[in-house]
Amino acid sequence: MPSSEPAAGTAFLPAFFARRGVHYGWVVAGVTFLAMLVTAGAVGTPGVLIGPLQKEFGWTTSEISSAFAIRLVLFGLMGPFAAAFMNRFGLRPVATVALSLIGAGIFGSFYMTTIWQLMLLWGVVVGFGTGLTAMVLGATVATRWFSRRRGLVIGLLTASTATGQLVFLPLLASLAENAGWRGALAFMLVMLLIAAIAVLFLLRDRPADVGLAPYGATEVQPGPAAAPATLMAMLASPLIALRDASRTSLFWVLFGTFFVCGASTNGLVQTHFVSLCGDYGMAAVAAAGMLAVIGVFDFIGTVGSGWLSDRFDSRTLLFWYYGLRGLSLIYLPFTDFSFYELSIFAVFYGLDWVATVPPTIKLTADRFGERANLVFGWIFAGHQLGAAFAAFGAGFIRSAYETYLPAFFLAGLLCLAASLAIIALRDPPARLAPAAS
C-alpha cells in the first residue's frame, strides 16, 4: 500500500513552516536536494578511487572501470522500477532504503581485497542503491509538490545530482591523499547518515498527506485512485509504459540523446577526468578542484535551464546544449592542460553538464502525462547505459593506447550528432493516451 503518515504530527511541521510563510513543498524539495546531493557524491566518488586502488591492489584501469560501469548500468536500469516503487510505497521508504544500500556498499568496501568484491559492492550494491533514487526522485517530487515554478524546481534538483558528483571531489581527493581512500569513504558514510535522518523526519509523499495543495495550486489534490494490486502488477507497470512509449519517435530520440548525455558526462568526464589530468602532470587534488569548478557552473547552468524550459521551446534548448557540449569536448584535447585553458573548458562545459535534463523532463511530461515518471525512468536508463559505455570504453582506450584523447573526440562527435537528432522533433508532440485499465 502507498505510505501514509500517522494522524498525530502530520500537520505540525507544515503548520510550523506555514506560520513562517514557507510552503512545505520547499521543505520536501530541500530534503530531496540533500538526499540527491549526497547520493550523487557517492556516484562521483570513483573519480578519485582509480589511482589509489591501482596502487594498493594492482588492478588495471580497465578492471576498475568495469566495476564502475556495472554500477552505472544498474543506476540507470533501476530508474523505471524506482518510479514504480515510489508510486506504490511512497518517497520516504524508497529513499531510506536507497541511502542504506549505498552505505552498506561503501562500508563493505573497507574490507575488499579482490576485484570481484569491488564489482559486487560498487557495481551491484551501490548501483542498486543509487538507482532507487537517481533523477526519478527529483522529477517525482517536482511533479507532485509544485504546480508553479516546476521547471525551476526540476532545475534545482537536477543540479543537486550533477553538482554533488563534482563538488565533493576536491575534499574526497584531499582525504584520499592524506588519510587514504578509506578515509574518503568514511566521510561519505557520515554524509549518508545525515541525509537519511533528514529523509526520515522531514520527507513526505504528497501534499494531500499533510492537507496541502501543491505549491501554486488552490485545491488539495487527491492521490492516485489505486496502486497496483499485486507485486507483479507493480513490476509490470514500467514494462507496460515502455511498450507504449517505444511506439513513439519522441521516446527513441530522447533515449538516444540521453545515452549521449550520459556518455559525455558521468561515464567520461566524471569517471576519468582526474586520471586524464594526471597523465599531463596535474595532481589529483587540483584536477578534482577543476571538476568542482565544473560543478559550480553546472549548478548555474542547470537552474537556468529549468527557468528557460518554462519559457522556451525545449527542442531549441536541447539543440544548443548538445552542440555546445560537443564543441567543448572536442576543444579539450587541443589544450595544453594549463590552468587557464582548463578553466575555459570548465566554464563552458560546466554550464552544459546536465542542462539537458529539465527540457528532456518537460518534453516527457508533455507527451506522456501521468506516466511521465515511468517513461522518464527508461529515458534515464539510456543516460546510464551511455555512461557505462563511456566509463568502460574510455578505460579500455587508456589501457590499449595509453591516452584518453580519442575517447574525448568520440564523445564530442556524439554530442554533435545528438544536437542534429533533436532537429527531427519538428512538431509539438501530442500527449499519449493513458493505458487502459
What pLDDT does residue 294 have? 84
The answer as to whether 215 is a domain residue is no
The answer as to whether 437 is a domain residue is no
From residue 113, alpha-carbon distances to 45, 106, 110, 129, 138 in Å are 19, 14, 9, 22, 36
Burial of 150 (0-12, 13-18, 19+ CB in 10 A): buried
Q: Tell me, what CATH number does 410's domain have?
A: 1.20.1250.20
429: left (phi over 0), alpha (psi -120 to 50) or beta: beta
Q: What share of the chain is helix, strand, coil (3-state, %, to 5)?
A: 80, 0, 20
The answer as to whether 229 is a domain residue is no
The answer as to whether 249 is a domain residue is yes
CB 117 within 8 A of CB 328: no
Candidates 140, 135, 172; CA nearest to 36 is: 135
Is residue 5 pLDDT above 60, yes or no? no
CB 84 within 8 A of CB 235: yes
Whether pTM > 0.75 for this model: the answer is no
What pLDDT does residue 266 have? 77
What pLDDT does residue 11 have? 64
The answer as to whether 302 is a domain residue is yes
The answer as to whether 341 is a domain residue is yes
What pLDDT does residue 259 have? 94
Q: Write out pLDDT tens, residues 195-235.
A: 999 999 888 888 888 888 888 877 776 665 555 556 677 77
Q: Residue 436's pLDDT band (boundaries 50, 70, 90)?
A: very low
CB 89 within 8 A of CB 141: no
* Largest CA-CA distance found in the chain, in angstroms, rounded: 63
How many domains in the chain? 1
> Grid coordinates standing for 429?
508532440
Average pLDDT, the chain: 82
Q: Write out pLDDT tens, residues 42-101.
A: 877 776 777 788 888 888 877 887 777 787 777 777 878 887 888 888 889 999 999 999
The answer as to whether 119 is a domain residue is yes
Residues in the chain: 437
Give residue 96's Cα distance to chain centre: 17
The set of long-range contacts for 430-433, using a CB threshold of 8 Å and a minimum separation of 24, is: 430/367, 431/366, 431/367, 431/368, 431/369, 432/244, 432/245, 432/248, 432/367, 432/368, 432/369, 432/371
> Grid coordinates standing for 348?
563552458
Domain range enclosing 243:
12-209+238-422
Sign, CA dihedral 138-139-141-146, equals: positive
Dist. CA 307–CA 355, nearest whole Å: 11
From residue 9, alpha-carbon distances to 122, 211, 262 in Å are 38, 12, 41
Dist. CA 437–CA 59, nearest whole Å: 52
The answer as to whether 28 is a domain residue is yes
Residue entry with cell 524546481:
153
> Grid coordinates standing for 146?
509544485
